[in-house]
Amino acid sequence: MNIYKLKITSPEKDDFLMEIEMNNEGTYLELHNTIQQALAYDNTQMASFFQISDMGEREKEIALFEMSSEEDDNVNILAMDVAMIREFLSKENPQMIYVFDFFSDRYFNIELIDIERRRVAVDSPKICAYNGDAPEQIVMSFDELEDLDLDGLDLKSATKKNTDFDFMDDFDDDIENGPQFENLDDYEDIL
């Protein structure tokens, strides 16, 4: 059985390092769940692995969910639950990235550091080393949103609590002019 040793680092946090061992037939979903659980991240957030070309460009995507339809011929997106580690990591192509925050395009670097032949398989991905502090999973603040063109929406006033707001003020209808019903049986009478 081939055991893959992976090194995970962050471009944001120089001191962060995680090393994981897993079977070469393990899936990217298993790797995703191991990373999410180890870092106490919310695993309901979108995440994807990307192969990286020699030029550093993103290539094949391994997404959390299957997002293509039968009519869509996009073969560059696969689902994590069916993609095996050995299919996209090799000594010839040892690097990937794991995007864990899609909104801010934040990611971890993943590098295949060794492939060991063992008689005994690793039941599930195993964390061998963990150092430093991981970055927060989602980073978003209203200060970052102020630069966005949101068609005149004032974020500062939108965050203030307005206790005088009544949603019925937006309606021009006079509620008193229509038929009055006490229960659904009254509605049948006018039909």
Mean pLDDT, each 10-residue run in order, the chain (191 residues): 95 96 95 96 92 90 77 73 93 94 93 92 90 89 56 53 56 59 62 58
CA distance 24 to 145: 42
Lookup: tokens for 112 = 């295949």
CA distance 38 to 173: 55
CA dist 115 → 3, 29, 63, 83, 108 (Å)? 6, 20, 24, 18, 20
Indicate the average pLDDT of the chain.
81
**pLDDT given for residue 25 in this prediction:** 92
Q: In this structure, are residues 13 and 130 in contact, taking their beta carbons and an 8 Å threshold?
A: no
CA-wise closest residue to 91 among 62, 121, 118, 111:
111
CA dist 67 → 13, 44, 63, 71, 75 (Å)? 31, 16, 8, 12, 11
Which is the CATH superfamily of the domain at 2-140?
A: MM3350-like (3.10.290.30)
Lookup: tokens for 116 = 């060991």
The segment(s) of the chain belonging to CATH 3.10.290.30 are 2-140
Q: How many CB atoms lie within 10 A of CB 147?
A: 6
CA distance 4 to 125: 10
> What are the pLDDT digits (tens) for 59-107?
999 998 876 655 555 567 899 999 999 999 999 999 999 999 988 899 9
Q: In this structure, are residues 48 and 65 in contact, taking their beta carbons and an 8 Å threshold?
A: no
**pLDDT given for residue 170 in this prediction:** 59
**CB under 8 Å to 20, separation ≥6 — which residues?**
5, 6, 8, 31, 34, 35, 125, 126, 127, 128
